[in-house]
Every structure is written in C-alpha cells, then in structure tokens.
Structure 1
C-alpha cells in the first residue's frame, strides 16, 4: 500500500526565514527598520531602504544555515510524519542556497534523506496528497487542483487566503495527529 505524500515547505514553515532576514536588515539599515508584522506582502517590493533589495534581504551568505526552528515541536512531529507518511521537503532555492538549506536540514533533521529533499519553486508541478506551506502562490494552486493543504499563518498570507478557509497550524504541536484527521476518508474514524 502506497503511503500518502506529505510535501512540507522549509522557509517560514519549519524554520523562520523572514524573522532572521529582518534581523540582518535592521542591523544593516538601522534608519529603515522593519517589523515582522509589516511583512504583509510575500515579496520584498515594499522594503523601505533602497539598497535592501530582494537579493540583499534574502541573499546574505550563510543566512539559511542560521535559521531558527519554527517551534520546539517541529523536529519531533516531522519525525513522526516521516515514519507514517512519504514525507518530502520541497523548498524554493537559489543555486547558491541549496547547500545551505541541505546543511540546515541535516543539522536539525538528519532523518531527512537526500531523496526527500526537493528544490522547486513551482510546487504545483509535483505529486503530493497534502502540502504544508506559507506561500499563497503554492497553497492556492494545490487547493484549486483538489489537493489538501495546511497553511502556516504569517502576515503575508493572511489577506489573500482568508476567503479560502484553509486548515492552518500556528504550531507544530500534534501536527501528525492533525494530518491523520485531514487525510482520513470522510465518515471513517480511526
């Protein structure tokens, strides 16, 4: 029997990218500080300092290796999900950040194998049963194609996604149980 495929994003889903990028932005441009709550757009066109481009904001060497875990539950829950399902980590990456992202995964979640690590910006092209992500550009196409999704809430996805009513997780606590419930056929109870 084939296990359902659970696709999980990395940045701002299992680790905090935007918060760390803001930290470095505010050190580099103290006259133009940013707050997490102000990040209401997924892209960086609204950054305040003219020199803080998308490339500068997300392009700091080593940035992806210094990210903090999303919360204290994420490693244990992803380990449980990995045992019960066919787990893939799907992350958008620039060529220069692929190794940083892989190193981060191996440091925090060494149970993730190379075969489970996929770099891909257009996640809707992949086959999966459930996507856990923060990006509206990933969640909406997956949902519209009939696949299940879980939204990780952030300021940049709140406005666009409120009307979809996506299931969401603001913590990884009991994530495996939540996924079990979402993937359970209607009318059946375990």
Structure 2
C-alpha cells in the first residue's frame, strides 16, 4: 500500500526562526522585541523595519544556524515510518538560504533523502495528503489536509486545524492511520 504524503515547512515548523529573527532584528534596530511582545501580530506589524528583515534573512549563516524545534527530529523520524515526508520551503526569495537550508537539513534530518527536499517560491503546486505550515498563505492553497503549526503571526487564525508542537503533530497524524 502506498504511504500517504506530508509536506513539512522548515521555518517556524522544523526550525525556530522566531528566536533568531528577534535577536538579529533587535541588534540591528536597537529594539527589545520578545516572543511575548509580538504574539498575535502579523509579521509586518511585529517587524516594522522591512529593510532590516530582508537584510537579516539575506545574511550569511542566518538559516544555517537556526535552532531545531523541540521534538522535531524524533517526530519526523517517527512519522516517516508510516508516511512519505517531503520538506517544502519557500526559499527562492532569499537565495543565500538555498544552500544553507540543504546543509541544515543534512545536519539535523540526515534521514530525509535529497529528492524529498523541495525548495521553491510558491507552495501552491504542492500536492500532498497533508501540509504542515505556519503560514495561512500556504495552507489556504493546500490540496490535501492543512495543519497549522502555531506561530506568533497565526495565533488568532482559526480556519485550519492547529497544532502547538511536534508531539501534537504526531498524535494528529497517527489518528489518521
């Protein structure tokens, strides 16, 4: 029997981009944003200086040094037993991120085959049974079942099934077997 497929986003789902972006943004702007202070804000509201954001996201080693989300490695490995996993990241907007994301995945998720890594611009063409992402702009076009991973910018969104951490992801998807 063919395994069901899952598309998993990187930034904000596998990799903790919030913490690092806040640190870099505060350093560049002399601000004191925190995870708590940006809860419920859209990205553009939380990080008003978009030029600084673009500069940070285009900086060497930003994506390569992101911390892994708690329980992500073990959870993806467990899900891989019953699902075909694809890592899908909208990476082409920040070209420096392409090689860094591949290297990051190789270090933290070496069990994901290279052909299951999709670095793209738009996720509208992704056709998997499930998509785990933190952005509604990607989940709204999901051809399968969208699963929203909680992030500061989606905390007030309610139109997709929400998971707050990787243990919840595993529980939700194991229920589908």
Cα deviations by residue, 1:71-97 (Å, 9 ceiling, x for unpaired): 1x1111100112211100000113221
Aligned length: 173
Q: Which 4+ residue blocks in structure 1 deviate beyond 3 angstroms?
A: 48-51
| TM-score normalised by L of structure 2 | 0.88
Cα deviations by residue, 1:122-157 (Å, 9 ceiling, x for unpaired): 212111000000011011221xx4x21211111211
| TM-score normalised by L of structure 1 | 0.82
- Take 1:177 and 1:25, find their aligned partners in 2: how far apart are those partners? 35
RMSD, matched Cα: 2.0
- How far did residue 50 of structure 1 move? 7.2
1:157 matched to 2:154: yes
> Matched residue of 2:106: which SS?
helix
- How far did residue 14 of structure 1 move? 0.9
Deviates more, 1:127-136 or 1:91-100: 91-100
> Would you say the 8 A contact 2:135–2:154 is kept in 1?
yes
1:169 matched to 2:170: no
Give unmatched runs, 5+ long, in structure 1.
185-190
Inter-CA distance 49–150: structure 2 relative to 1 (3 Å threshold)? closer
Query: Max radius of gyration: which structure?
Result: 1
